[in-house]
A and B are shown apart, each in its own frame.
Chain A
Amino acid sequence: MIIACSGKVFCITVAEALYGNSVLHKCFYWYTGNYGVEINPPVDGQSTIVLTASEAFTSQQEDALADKVKRDLIDFALRDIVSRETATVRELLIAKAFAHYDTAGDPQTAVADPVGFDTKTISVE
């Protein structure tokens, strides 16, 4: 990650492989309240984000913003991993939640028969 600051402009360059388009947009969305935000298309595997403030950054502000950007990028990259890895199970969960319990058969889980008997094999006289 390369960070450069000059006057009102704070520029971040990150590897596209580490921080994809979705991560960058979700992360820097939260900066749009305080800065003008420009996310440029990747060039040679590097994405550049430009934050423009209304006044020139002091060195203290620059350091604080650099720390925040690094931390936020990691957090949003982690959130992106969870989001991608759990998309299927989340869909399944919501589909089951709103399926009005209309299951095709008995739930196939290890605790489906908590008393230790398989009711299907017990003969009733």
Chain B
Amino acid sequence: MNEPSLHRKTRKFSGYDAYSLERDQAYHLLPFRFHRIHNGKEVLVSEIGDFLIVPGGTAQRIITRELSKAADPVLYADLESAFFISETAVPPLIDVMATRYRTKKSFLDYFTSLHIFVISLRCEHTCHYCQVSRASQDKNAFDMSHHHIDKGIAMMMRSPSPHVTMEFQGGEALLAFDNIVYAVEKVKEESLRYNKDVTYVICTNLALLNDEIALYCKENRILLSTSLDGPAHVHNQNRHRPGNNSYELAVAGIELAREILGRDRVSALLTTTNLSLQYPRQIVDEYFARGFRSIFLRPISPYGFAARNEKKNRYLTADFLAFYKEALAHIIDYNLSGEFFREDYACIILKKMLTPFPVGYVDLQSPAGMINNVIVFNYDGSIYATDESRMLAEMKDFSFLLGSLDTHSYEEIFYGDKAMTFSECWSNESLPGCSDCAFQSYCGADPVFHHATQGDMVGHRPTSSFCQRNMGIITHLIELMDSDARIEKIFRSWISGRN
């Protein structure tokens, strides 16, 4: 009678030999990338986005099989547990790796969620960086018709996502508040039929906000997203309006919205102009003083009318990075003194670096957010792949026009020839310069940006300001965490929301 054999699968732990440092030291590489950072160090990033900061030359030692389990037990264990190397050709935990990879791409699961309705192109501001707006008061020419609102809602209800966001943009969206009310009331009926959970957002400069509008927003749980470019002397120079009081109206509107809707129902966005670059600390202080506990240090979009005013709106990426780093240092100082105050762009990248989860930010995704996560219904019924695409159209560039609410079906828009063409260059995994980049999983692809700035949807990474900006910011964030453990703790508090 044979002795019963102990099959390895039935044991909780592998045998002692499996853990011995004296074992055969051959190992297999798993997909990873590396990048040189400060102080002679390098960062290794695995295919699923985990990173290790190691002394310079480590990548070479790993790849040329100079690494020894006996001589480098800690590094060896770190590399094995973080999926940089494996002792078997196919790692035992490949299913775990696959789940991690899938989780990183789970923003694709429900397809398009953000639906932007350009409810009116009219505006009472004449901001020099505005990409699209018309000062015209011609309601018929520049407001979205009820017919197009209905068609847009019908298309939104076709989204596979159970949670969709309906964002009202302008011009100044509140100039067509009657249109917003019409759309919201319509969606309330339709969302019941289609079992959709709808989040409403109005993008507004708040100049026209009054009690009646604010109360309607409260009743319908509508979020308000506004613009605040910093202290009055910056904001009012960026955002012109009769009376030169855009700042005063924005601040009063923020207070009114907080009073009626609630403190967390209004957010503000910064647009960085040439003027802003001179005031990083003052802009951060303004946000903090106004009670915001986050700020999004956002560069200007080089689209539409904004591109015409080069003196005010065009700057070198290096200048933006200098502004960003100084502002971020000031924000970190607030945190070091015990306050919770975060920078949103850093937060998006840090969440990708420090958690297994993706971020629903359409400008930094691969595959890109265009169509996959966002669609734009313009005031005239035309449909664009992104918000920036309709800005290009204002400059007579219709490259990203997908069709019209009047003539195209859902399938023709979302799965049509144009969408297929864009798909060839919307994944950074297959873009020149990106395919070997260590920061691939933290970054994204932006065919619209590269078309607008370089005339080519694929883009040329060595001269791309998108690449330079993201490489600069990601490297800076890694170096900050490497240089000061307190900063890493602060960064982790930003993504967990806990002080």
Confirm or deny: B63 has a beta carbon within 8 angstroms of a beta carbon on chain A. yes
Complex Cα gap A76–B33 (Å): 10
Contact B91 A97 (CB under 8 A): no
Contact B432 A86 (CB under 8 A): no
Most buried by A among B9, B60, B63, B97: B9
Least Cβ distance of B38 to chain A in Å? 15
Contact B463 A33 (CB under 8 A): yes
B98-106, B296-304, B380-388: which lies at the A interface? B98-106
- Contact residues in B for A115 (Cβ distance below 8 Å): 12
Confirm or deny: A70 has a beta carbon within 8 angstroms of a beta carbon on chain B. no
Complex Cα gap A109–B97 (Å): 13
Contact B101 A76 (CB under 8 A): no
Confirm or deny: B420 has a beta carbon within 8 angstroms of a beta carbon on chain A. no
> Which listed residue (A81, A109, A118) contacts B7, Cβ 8 A?
A118
- Contact residues in B for A121 (Cβ distance below 8 Å): 10
**A28-72 to B contact mask, C-beta < 8 Å, 1/0:** 011111100000000000000000000000000000000000000
Contact A110 B95 (CB under 8 A): no
Least Cβ distance of B462 to chain A in Å? 3
Q: In chain B between 18 and 56, which residues have their CB closer than 8 angstroms to a CB of chain A? A: 28-34, 36, 47
Complex Cα gap A26–B97 (Å): 27
Contact B90 A97 (CB under 8 A): no
Least Cβ distance of B439 to chain A in Å? 14
Complex Cα gap A103–B31 (Å): 23
Confirm or deny: B71 has a beta carbon within 8 angstroms of a beta carbon on chain A. no
- Contact residues in B for A86 (Cβ distance below 8 Å): 29-32
Say yes or no: A92-B94 contact (C-beta < 8 A), given A30-B433, A86-B31, A118-B9. yes
Contact A90 B436 (CB under 8 A): no
Contact A118 B10 (CB under 8 A): yes
- Contact residues in A for B31 (Cβ distance below 8 Å): 82-83, 86, 89-90, 93
Confirm or deny: B14 has a beta carbon within 8 angstroms of a beta carbon on chain A. yes
- Contact residues in B for A94 (Cβ distance below 8 Å): 101
Contact B90 A92 (CB under 8 A): yes
Confirm or deny: B460 has a beta carbon within 8 angstroms of a beta carbon on chain A. yes
Contact A114 B30 (CB under 8 A): no
Complex Cα gap A81–B28 (Å): 12
- Contact residues in A for B93 (Cβ distance below 8 Å): 109, 111
- Contact residues in B for A116 (Cβ distance below 8 Å): 10-12
> Which listed residue (B30, B33, B89, B98) contacts A96, Cβ 8 A?
B98
Complex Cα gap A34–B462 (Å): 8
**B327-355 to A contact mask, C-beta < 8 Å, 1/0:** 00000000000000000000000000000
Contact A111 B92 (CB under 8 A): yes
Confirm or deny: B59 has a beta carbon within 8 angstroms of a beta carbon on chain A. yes
Least Cβ distance of A23 to chain B in Å? 10
Q: Interface size (A, Cβ < 8 Å)? A: 39
Confirm or deny: A4 has a beta carbon within 8 angstroms of a beta carbon on chain B. no
Confirm or deny: B193 has a beta carbon within 8 angstroms of a beta carbon on chain A. no
- Contact residues in A for B311 (Cβ distance below 8 Å): none
Contact A82 B63 (CB under 8 A): yes
Say yes or no: A31-B462 contact (C-beta < 8 A), given A86-B30, A114-B12. yes
Say yes or no: A29-B433 contact (C-beta < 8 A), given A89-B30, A89-B91. yes
Least Cβ distance of B62 to chain A in Å? 9
Contact A97 B101 (CB under 8 A): yes
Confirm or deny: B8 has a beta carbon within 8 angstroms of a beta carbon on chain A. yes
> Which listed residue (B10, B30, B47) contacts A117, Cβ 8 A?
B10
- Contact residues in B for A30 (Cβ distance below 8 Å): 433, 461-462
- Contact residues in B for A97 (Cβ distance below 8 Å): 98-99, 101-102, 105
Least Cβ distance of B431 to chain A in Å? 11
Contact A113 B9 (CB under 8 A): yes
Q: In chain B between 69 and 103, which residues have their CB closer than 8 angstroms to a CB of chain A? A: 89-95, 97-99, 101-102
- Contact residues in A for B12 (Cβ distance below 8 Å): 114-116
- Contact residues in B for A114 (Cβ distance below 8 Å): 12
- Contact residues in B for A93 (Cβ distance below 8 Å): 31, 47, 94, 97-98, 101
Task: Name 25 A/B residue pairs within 8 A (Cβ), A-sorted.
Answer: A32-B462, A33-B460, A74-B60, A75-B36, A78-B64, A81-B63, A83-B436, A86-B29, A89-B28, A89-B30, A89-B31, A89-B90, A92-B90, A92-B94, A96-B95, A97-B99, A97-B101, A97-B105, A98-B102, A98-B105, A107-B95, A113-B9, A114-B12, A117-B10, A118-B7
Q: Which 10 A-B pairs have the closest CB atoms?
A: A33-B462, A96-B98, A97-B101, A97-B102, A86-B31, A116-B12, A97-B98, A109-B92, A90-B31, A118-B10
Q: Add 19 more A-B contacts to A33-B463, A79-B436 (CB < 8 A).
A: A29-B432, A32-B460, A32-B462, A75-B34, A76-B436, A82-B31, A82-B32, A85-B28, A86-B29, A86-B31, A89-B91, A93-B31, A93-B97, A94-B101, A97-B98, A98-B105, A110-B9, A118-B7, A118-B9
